[in-house]
Copies of this chain bind each other. A is one copy, B any other.
């Protein structure tokens, strides 16, 4: 029989550490300043006392910081740490049997004097060993303590000395950790900027950003448009691709297979003789203009987000320079994108099984690097689920190692497993099924899943009521109220949301054809001119809502969402609150864009810190109206043609005669 390769004396067990994604295969995500609350099972055989610590460090640091975990009962422990810097942190859990604490617990229970005397002697020995582990300062204190347990003093006196609290705390500093058990996995946290968790996005086509009808908007026009975006209170202005647009097989308006000579084509058909993914479409301006736009936006608190679409138009320079990056057909042509019998001949996908995949990966990484150098740190990635998954894990990992401020939004409108997997791989935010969740059970079920299930540790949803690809049926038929409803839902259900404008604020709702979710006269294929000054624009409502989001911390987090009962299936009610209950937001929405609806909402008074008998004030932050409510059940009525929602801030303190200056 061979000798052992392990120390069998590690009696403590650590298991079921949470949060943990796929056994530690993927990191969880947090934003700067957030807490990482960790739980674990920790126990040992028998009745000995256990100590259990959480440890953490920034990646690359040699030293761990340890914090004690507290027992929750049933062998479950909890501890937490706060992530203070961008980048990757590591954490783990460790536990060990603490003979000193076991001894002390037992000592307090002993009754037989002979037994106590023996135990005191044993304890003195344990403390002596602690002294040997202690520093110069504490060792003499511990030795003196050990001495006081033995010797000639009366046993009651020695027992009292042994049970001294502060000496025990001193001893706790020098535990015997020879047989410490470390949890099998080192777990990781990606720490992102706050905007990865809390952000309001506005998507707009720069070429439509001109007031000159029929003209081609430029980055300079975009600069002028920044004030408009800032007035609405957005954090992020996201631009579809800004690169030269291919001429070969260019699409015409409304996705026509043939483009007229003056048609601009789709910005997603990237690359022409003027350049590829590092180039700028000449009519938009120059790289200098782009940098100027980024800088100007920054002064308004807006970040420019770029679209990263890894595909090429047939005349992209890479097709000529790197033929091995594409799949070639037996007829000597490059394989275009297709889903037979549909053909997308203006687009060549990359072949991620290319022999030269490593060179391709590096070049694609270089695209991100280039735009990061131009001041961009937010990227919206087009159809990531049609590019090889190992590439995303590698490229986001590499980029965030160098540039931990970067944020990646996955356009992951795909099957659930794939949507989740992309988030695990590193995407900071994810598009999701929100556009297709419109009824009360759909919204309740889906948002509960997003905010409560284990996936929340790595998947941050971004809620979009529309995109250039998606004009949902609900918006097509519900008129202006439908847009208000979906806006309010997106902006208050989700800490991150976005709209594609100006079609959104101008409630553009005509589809390409009945049954389609494509826009008629979509900006994807043509330049549009928008009347931003229309009286009925939703601009002011948007501004109001973004203001409310900024003022109320409860709306800046996803996990605190909680649905509340309301006795009308056309109405939905939910609350978000800060941990200290200082900021409690209650949202009631009429989901029916056609009819006035009313109902009784039911509040969990006690959980909101409200006393049953006292009135409280509901301050509607949308209308600025204030309502005095009383008790758990209260009546709400909403007219969709006016404002189809209340966004209440609950104000617990209602003044009474006792507050009057001369009352006492």
Seen from chain A, the residues whose Cβ lies within 8 Å of a Cβ on chain B are: 1, 3-4, 6, 8-11, 13, 15-16, 22-25, 41, 43-47, 74-76, 97, 106-107, 109-112, 115, 118, 121-122, 125, 179, 184-185, 329-331, 338-341, 343, 349, 352-354, 357-358, 361-362, 385-391, 394, 415-418, 421
- Which residues on the B side are within 8 Å of A97 (C-beta)? 353
Closest A-B pairs by Cβ, 3 of them: A23-B23, A121-B330, A109-B340
Contact B329 A386 (CB under 8 A): no
- Which residues on the B side are within 8 Å of A388 (C-beta)? 8-9, 11, 45
Contact B330 A47 (CB under 8 A): no
**Whole-angstrom distance between the alpha carbons of A340 and B1 in the complex?**
39
- Which residues on the B side are within 8 Å of A385 (C-beta)? 45-46
- With A11-B389, A76-B417 given, can you name 20 additional A-B contacts, CB distance below 8 Å? A1-B362, A4-B358, A8-B352, A8-B361, A8-B390, A8-B394, A9-B352, A11-B352, A15-B421, A41-B421, A43-B418, A43-B421, A45-B352, A46-B349, A47-B386, A75-B415, A75-B418, A110-B341, A118-B329, A118-B331
- Which residues on the B side are within 8 Å of A357 (C-beta)? 8-9
**Whole-angstrom distance between the alpha carbons of A44 and B106 in the complex?**
58
Give the number of times this chain occurs in the complex, counting copies. Answer: 2
Contact B9 A122 (CB under 8 A): no
- Which residues on the B side are within 8 Å of A75 (C-beta)? 415-418
Report the minimum CB–CB distance from A106 to chain B (whole Å). Answer: 4
- In the complex with contacts A23-B23, A415-B74, A110-B340 CB distance below 8 A: yes
Contact B45 A353 (CB under 8 A): no
**Whole-angstrom distance between the alpha carbons of A357 and B179 in the complex?**
13
- Which residues on the B side are within 8 Å of A3 (C-beta)? 358
Contact A179 B341 (CB under 8 A): no
* 6 A–B contacts, CB within 8 A, in A order: A8-B390, A8-B394, A10-B390, A11-B390, A107-B340, A118-B330
Q: What residue of chain B has the Cβ atom nearest to residue A42's Cβ? A: B417
**Whole-angstrom distance between the alpha carbons of A122 and B13 in the complex?**
57
**Whole-angstrom distance between the alpha carbons of A390 and B4 in the complex?**
12
- Which residues on the B side are within 8 Å of A386 (C-beta)? 45-47
- Which residues on the B side are within 8 Å of A361 (C-beta)? 8
Contact A341 B421 (CB under 8 A): no
- Which residues on the B side are within 8 Å of A331 (C-beta)? 118, 121
Report the minimum CB–CB distance from A642 to chain B (whole Å). Answer: 42
Contact A353 B1 (CB under 8 A): no
Report the minimum CB–CB distance from A73 to chain B (whole Å). Answer: 10
- Which residues on the B side are within 8 Å of A125 (C-beta)? 330
Q: What residue of chain B has the Cβ atom nearest to residue A99's Cβ? A: B353
Report the minimum CB–CB distance from A225 to chain B (whole Å). Answer: 36
Q: Which of A106, A107, A339, A390 has the most CB of B within 10 A?
A: A390
**Whole-angstrom distance between the alpha carbons of A77 and B343 in the complex?**
30
Contact of A353 among B11, B16, B47, B112 (CB under 8 A): B11
- Which residues on the B side are within 8 Å of A387 (C-beta)? 45
Contact A417 B341 (CB under 8 A): no
**Whole-angstrom distance between the alpha carbons of A179 and B354 in the complex?**
12
- Which residues on the B side are within 8 Å of A339 (C-beta)? 47
**Whole-angstrom distance between the alpha carbons of A74 and B414 in the complex?**
10
- Which residues on the B side are within 8 Å of A24 (C-beta)? 23
- Which residues on the B side are within 8 Å of A415 (C-beta)? 43, 74-75
Q: What residue of chain B has the Cβ atom nearest to residue A424's Cβ? A: B15
Contact of A122 among B110, B330, B389 (CB under 8 A): B330
- Which residues on the B side are within 8 Å of A11 (C-beta)? 352-353, 388-390
**Whole-angstrom distance between the alpha carbons of A1 and B185 in the complex?**
28
**Whole-angstrom distance between the alpha carbons of A391 and B44 in the complex?**
12
**Whole-angstrom distance between the alpha carbons of A115 and B125 in the complex?**
87
- Which residues on the B side are within 8 Å of A1 (C-beta)? 362
Report the minimum CB–CB distance from A51 to chain B (whole Å). Answer: 15
**Whole-angstrom distance between the alpha carbons of A67 and B440 in the complex?**
44
- Which residues on the B side are within 8 Å of A115 (C-beta)? 340, 343
Q: What residue of chain B has the Cβ atom nearest to residue A13's Cβ? A: B389
Report the minimum CB–CB distance from A149 to chain B (whole Å). Answer: 11
Report the minimum CB–CB distance from A109 to chain B (whole Å). Answer: 4
Q: Which of A111, A125, A389 has the most CB of B within 10 A?
A: A389
**Whole-angstrom distance between the alpha carbons of A391 and B41 in the complex?**
19
Contact of A417 among B6, B43, B329, B353 (CB under 8 A): B43
- Which residues on the B side are within 8 Å of A41 (C-beta)? 417, 421
**Whole-angstrom distance between the alpha carbons of A43 and B417 in the complex?**
8
Q: Which of A107, A330, A341, A361 has the most CB of B within 10 A?
A: A330
Report the minimum CB–CB distance from A458 to chain B (whole Å). Answer: 13
Contact A389 B341 (CB under 8 A): no
Q: What residue of chain B has the Cβ atom nearest to residue A342's Cβ? A: B109
**Whole-angstrom distance between the alpha carbons of A565 and B4 in the complex?**
54
- Which residues on the B side are within 8 Å of A25 (C-beta)? 184
Contact B341 A112 (CB under 8 A): yes
- Which residues on the B side are within 8 Å of A329 (C-beta)? 118, 122
**Whole-angstrom distance between the alpha carbons of A353 and B8 in the complex?**
8
**Whole-angstrom distance between the alpha carbons of A357 and B76 in the complex?**
28
